[in-house]
Amino acid sequence: MAKTTPGRFFEDYAVGDVLHHAVPRTVSGGERALYHALYPARHALYSSDEFARGCGLAGAPLEDLAAFHMVFGKTVPDVSLNAVANLGYAEGRWHLPVYAGDTLRAESEVIGVKQNSNGKSGVVYVRTRGLNQRDDCVLDYVRWVMVRKGDLEAPAPETCIPELAKVIPAEDLVIPNGLDFSGYDFALAGEAHRWGDYAVGEQIDHIDGVTIEEAEHMLATRLWQNTAKVHFDTTARPDGTRLIYGGHVISMARALSFNGLANAQMIVGLNGGAHANPCTAGMTIRAWSEVLDKAETSAPGVGAIRLRLVATSGGAPFQLKGEDGKYRSEVLLDLDYWALMPL
């Protein structure tokens, strides 16, 4: 019996399958420290237990994106080891903050399959849930990837494309229990701008840039126990470059967005996202944001803001697509998310 696995191919997925992903992970202060070393992350709610307590939480949670990466990483061996492309995200919601001492695991349900017309690959849709040691769902999201067929003779499955919300309605966002921004300390948080200061359509250039190193993205990607070999092995691609995990770009852009969005504290919804172009070491990452929507919430002092977060490797801000309707070559990421902000 072969002891290693080449990963799953398109014909290995059937709608309704539930994949129980391996390698649970207990988090500690170590993951928080590393997250702050890897990204210029400065949102106060995740940096200070005292600040978080002042907002009604038990302490500073693990960064929402770190929780996401940790859950995502567990799915890689079962979902995207043979993926040609990570096509999209939808309906992502964070349900519970993750604290030091929590143990995360993940499972995914196959919710859609569609073979490509070339017969060589297909698209697989999964809804992934991250669970803690009490089997509570801490976050869930839908992801779809293009996966190679292993056996080109395998019959095409019946096409099933799930209906996915373009945007999570604000009323469906989960506000952490007890969250209260009515005594929010804007000075400690770093900026005075509150929810009411942002207008739909407003664009923000986050100014700062970070040049990316090989060692850093590999440290990050391993920390999430993501095993996709293109991130680590220079012999895996003909040109000898390592592709940087898309989540590394997401976290870098989000951290850079502190400058202008310091009070967009908690990420609670992921409406969609595209990794528009590959990222490699040596690129200098910048970010800009656009306010897509705003909504009130039931929690005291807490508003929701829907943001487009764009990461680039150069060029001017606020340029997303060319005349051909395609992403410009310097655009790395186009993310659509909901965050919580003090009113």
- 87-146 residues in contact with a second copy (CB under 8 A) are 100-101, 103, 105, 133
Number of residues that bind a second copy (CB under 8 A): 79
12/156 with CB nearer a second copy: 12
Q: Which of 187, 201, 323, 324 binds a second copy (CB under 8 A)?
A: 187
Burial (CB count within 10 angstroms: exposed 0-12, middle 13-18, buried 19+), residue 326: exposed
Number of helical (H) and strand (E) elements in the chain, helices listed first: 8, 12
Query: What span, in angstroms and rounded, lies between the C-alpha atoms of 88 and 49?
Result: 34
Q: Which amino acid appears at position 54 of this protein?
A: G
Sole binder of a second copy in the list 18, 22, 85, 200 (CB under 8 A): 22
One of 93, 143, 149, 206 touching a second copy (CB under 8 A): 206
Q: In the set 18, 50, 136, 183, which binds a second copy (CB under 8 A)? A: 50
Site for a second copy in 297-336 (CB under 8 A): none
188 C-beta neighbours (distance < 10 Å), count: 12
Among 8, 9, 11, 44, binds a second copy (CB under 8 A): 44
Query: Which positions from 152 through 171 interact with a second copy, judged by CB under 8 A?
Result: none
Does residue 61 touch a second copy according to CB under 8 A?
Answer: no
| Among positions 209, 278, 292, 328, the unique one binding a second copy when judged by CB under 8 A | 209
What is the DSSP track for 93-119? Answer: EE-S---TT-EEEEEEEEEEEEE-TTS
Place of tokens 């569609």: 114
Which residues, numbered 249-268, are part of the site for a second copy (CB under 8 A)?
A: 259-262
Residue from 137, 156, 175, 210 in contact with a second copy (CB under 8 A): 210
* Residues between 233 and 252 that touch a second copy (CB under 8 A): 233-236, 242
Q: How far apart are alpha carbons 263 and 339 in whole angstroms?
A: 9
Residues 6+ apart with CB under 8 A from 116: 122, 123, 146
Residues 6+ apart with CB under 8 A from 71: 104, 106, 128, 129, 130, 138, 139
CB of 261 to a second copy, least distance (A): 7
Q: Coil, strand or helix: which one is 153?
A: coil
Query: Which member of 207, 237, 315, 316 binds a second copy (CB under 8 A)?
Result: 207
Q: How far is the CB of 118 from a second copy (least distance, A)?
A: 27
Q: How far apart are alpha carbons 126 and 143 in whole angstroms?
A: 6
Check binding of 71 to a second copy (CB under 8 A).
no
The reply on whether position 215 binds a second copy by CB under 8 A is yes
In the list 12, 15, 17, 48, the residue contacting a second copy (rule: CB under 8 A) is: 48
